Structure 1
Amino acid sequence: MFRRKWSGLPADPDFHVDLSKLGYFINEDDEVRAIDNPDNYFHFFFNRNTRWNERQRYAMNQALQYVIWERLEKLGLKKELLPLGTFDTSKPHVPIFVSGDIATKSRVVVIFGETVQDLGVLAHRIIGGRGGINKGSMISIVSALQKQCSSPSNSTPPGIILANMGELIWYPEGKRTLSRSAFAAAPMQSAVHYTNVVEKGNMVEKNSTARMHVGHIFQEVIPHFTKDNSKIDIITLGGSADYVEEFLDLPLMWNTWKNRINCLAIVGGLYPVWDLKNDEFVNVFLRNKARAYITSVEPVGMVISGPEGNPKTTTFTQMGCPVFSSGEPNYTETALITGSEVILDWLQEVAMTPEGEDYTNPYFHVDFADPVFDTDEPDWSSWQNEEIVGQKDEHGKMCNEQVHDETSNPQGEKPSLVMLQHDEYNEQTKKENVKTGQAEDTN
């Protein structure tokens, strides 16, 4: 009898979390290129075995993330561990980034990234491809925000909080949290195990889900790091908009935060307004102090819809706020990259509202409608085959010239029904079988 021991299974492939050891470097354009051929970007399909490809990408993404974290720290951001009060890095925790001088800021921008991305990452297709590390990460956004003013009377840049919506699964062996895709690619007992299973030991207190993480950011992180009277700007990316809007829609939470939140930029989110129940949050805040930026082929900044939605487009616009094109036609993860100038300029516009005045979205006259394409398709409604018209069928019936009209007209001639007797049917079937070479059934 064949017996295979656990020790006989193929070992899980291992790659160094180091760019140079993986065979890559960062060139003068801030792009990741292959050492053996500087014209090549990151090569994912280097092996026919999917597990080897995933393990290489796991190491690559972590190596790039450490580069991003180092650059964010050079910009003045500090890594903090959640839940608050966690100092032992061997215990379950979720990292976030907070401006080192955030306690002095009168304006704070809180960014909730996508629920599928690593902390600090916007789009790996940009980080590991054309565009480079800064452009494809939060570094470009943080750098742009640090050039803004906090208010008309305060020229200092706003404070920044980078929430960690994607990496919420604790990986004990690595002493860090991972995203769901990274956790599946983390080391396993062998290369042929099914996957890593999320268990109770992989949960982080108060941050085990994206919904809980949003609540922890609002209820504990922001009050802990910021002044009580500091104003809050919020940027949500992709699916994180669902959890942020759900939280603010709660009457108790909205009453707590409505006087502090300046504005809300929904980038790539698609949360339907009919799922929100708080009338003040929907009809006052979303309508007047929120904007959505969606994937669209239209130029960046084009108005797609007003707060009521746009019935002249198949694009989803029922979000309760004005909807704009981000300039990105395909990928949600790159919408903030493509539309960063327009989106961040709007945040600055809101922040520079004269003191004593309350910002309100202007009225937008929406002309946008889906384009109607002229087609050269002929009208087939009265089509008839000239070769068949007037010919007789095998039963001696004339092919009707107006088949469509008469069969659809209750007053037209009724279609003929030809009935074959049983004997006639059997004889006809036998003849057809003989023609096709089928043997006659003697039974």
Structure 2
Amino acid sequence: MFKRKWSALPADVKFPSNLKGLGYFINKDSEVRSIENEDNYFKFFINRNLRVCERQRFAMNHEIHKRLNDLGLCKLSLPLPASDGTPPLASVPIFASASIREKSRVVIIFGETHQDLGVLAHRVIGGNGGIDKGSLVSVVKALLQQQCSSMDPTPPGIILANMGELIWWPEGERTLSKSAFDATPMRSAAHIGNYIDAKVNRVPGNESPVAHVKYIFETVVSTLVDSNAGLDIIGLGDGADVVESYWNCSATWDRVGSRINCFASVGGQFPAWEVKCDGLQDFLQDRTRAYVPSDEPLGSVLSGPSGNPLTSTFTRLGCPVFSAGEPQHVETLFIASHLTVLDWLQEVADISASGKTYKNPMFVSIYSDGPDEDNWGNLGVEEMGCADGREETGADVSPPVTITRDDALRMDSTAEIAQK
């Protein structure tokens, strides 16, 4: 009988832990380029074994965190330290503004559940666009140019939740995403993978994305944010779905809903028929906007809260739906649309600060993916906005936004938005 020793197994692949050691540098445009040939971007697919590729990219996020720190964000560990100041052994990092307690408005961003902290799209970070564009660095810079409201000229506070890095890696004393955890060293290249032990590799109170969202709203906000400050929430991809699922309970909504100014769902797919909480239904209709993949220009109205049956894009989200200006990849939606999303957040904050109650305008749209010209006359105009017979007393409601038939025909079934 043969016995194979551990030493006989092929060794796990190793790479340097910095860009220079990997053969790359960051140019003046914040793009990762090859030292050997400056025309070449970061090359991820260096091997047919995907784990080898992941191992190479394992230490790529250090530069992002450094830049966020330079913008005034501090890295905090969850669970928050106990009253005696003792930090927990296993912890999840997040970023928050250093002066967050002084802010009258705080923007909380929940990213996708498979992305590292601060990352939007590695395809952009390591390629055309660079580190700032492919991460939340660009978003934080834009937020720092805003003001809390028309009554408070200081920039809003910022919290960057960590929806992806929830697996504790004891050897590295840090949490990782699932793909990064799979890229940590193994005993040999022949091992099938790294085993996740719930007792060893999970962080108390932040064991899953849902638990992390709950901890942010019920512990982090109550501890770090002023009780009178309003909250603007941005959810990216499936992170937006997790946030809505947490809110989708009357007891939870009664506890946290009154503090939320507005919600931007960027790439979320939480269906309207799954919403069981009445308070959340009204909130989605009045103070939520969804931005989805589309070939239409950024900001084009695709649907009102009741959905649009004339498009193949899923629009039954319970809120007005807009084009994010990106036709395909969910992870790049916020890169394309973040300035438009942040402008809407600012609009809501300014109206609320003036003493008025913000409500989405009523959207009337005949947008379609592209029916035959002869069928346009049979489409009709479907009212898909927030006006459903409810009273609008005290609300600041804009005039209806519509797309005319002539506009649609002239643009070859491409909707052009006109404000009446």
TM-score under structure 2 length normalisation? 0.85
Residue 273 of structure 2 is matched in structure 1 by 274
Amino acid at match of 1:370: D
Residue 40 of structure 1 is matched in structure 2 by 40
SS at 1:174's partner residue?
Answer: coil
SS at 2:358's partner residue?
Answer: coil
Residue 16 of structure 1 is matched in structure 2 by 16
SS at 1:53's partner residue?
Answer: helix
Mapped pair 1:69 → 2:68 = no
2: distance between equivalents of 1:3 and 1:55?
30
Structure number with larger C-alpha Rg: 1
CA-CA distance at 1:16 after TM superposition:
1.5
Over the residues paired in the alignment, what is the CA RMSD in angstroms? 1.4
Specify whether residues 49 and 247 from structure 1 end up closer, same or farther in structure 2 by C-alpha distance, changes over 3 A only.
closer
C-alpha contact 2:81 2:87 (8 A) present in aligned 1: no
How many residues are aligned here? Answer: 369
CA-CA distance at 1:186 after TM superposition:
1.0
Specify whether residues 89 and 5 from structure 1 end up closer, same or farther in structure 2 by C-alpha distance, changes over 3 A only.
farther
SS at 2:206's partner residue?
Answer: coil
Q: How does 1:116-195 map to 2 (within 5 A)?
A: 116-195=114-193
Residue 347 of structure 1 is matched in structure 2 by 345
Spell out, residue by residue over 1:398-439, the C-alpha distance to the aligned partner (whole angstroms, 9 max, x if none): xxxxxxxxxxxxxxxxxxxxxxxxxxxxxxxxxxxxxxxxxx
CA-CA distance at 1:90 after TM superposition:
8.0
Name whichever of 353-362 and 76-85 sits farther off: 353-362
1: distance between equivalents of 2:362 and 2:117?
36
Amino acid at match of 1:82: L
Name whichever of 243-252 and 315-324 sits farther off: 243-252
CA-CA distance at 1:88 after TM superposition:
6.5
**319, 322, 333: which is aligned to 2:331?**
333
C-alpha contact 2:186 2:194 (8 A) present in aligned 1: yes
2: distance between equivalents of 1:50 and 1:158?
40
C-alpha contact 2:250 2:278 (8 A) present in aligned 1: no
Amino acid at match of 1:258: G
Residue 110 of structure 1 is matched in structure 2 by 108
2: distance between equivalents of 1:359 and 1:119?
32
1: distance between equivalents of 2:138 and 2:339?
11
C-alpha contact 2:91 2:203 (8 A) present in aligned 1: yes
Mapped pair 1:78 → 2:77 = no
Residue 287 of structure 2 is matched in structure 1 by 289
SS at 1:361's partner residue?
Answer: coil
SS at 1:133's partner residue?
Answer: helix
2: distance between equivalents of 1:52 and 1:232?
41
Amino acid at match of 1:352: D
1: distance between equivalents of 2:354 and 2:185?
55
TM-score under structure 1 length normalisation? 0.81
CA-CA distance at 1:49 after TM superposition:
4.2
C-alpha contact 2:54 2:179 (8 A) present in aligned 1: no
Mapped pair 1:218 → 2:214 = no
Residue 406 of structure 1 is matched in structure 2 by none
Spell out, residue by residue over 1:323-370, the C-alpha distance to the aligned partner (whole angstroms, 9 max, x if none): 000001111111001011111110011011052200000011212111
1: distance between equivalents of 2:67 and 2:87?
21
SS at 1:17's partner residue?
Answer: coil
Name whichever of 1-10 and 70-79 sits farther off: 1-10
Amino acid at match of 1:56: Q
Aligned structure 1 segments of 4 or more residues deviating by more than 3 angstroms:
47-51, 86-90
C-alpha contact 2:81 2:88 (8 A) present in aligned 1: no
Q: How does 1:317-396 map to 2 (within 5 A)?
A: 317-353=315-351, 354-372=353-371
1: distance between equivalents of 2:49 and 2:222?
48
2: distance between equivalents of 1:47 and 1:278?
49
User: Which 5+ residue runs of structure 1 have no aligned equivalent?
Assistant: 375-443
Amino acid at match of 2:214: G
Residue 407 of structure 1 is matched in structure 2 by none
SS at 2:258's partner residue?
Answer: coil
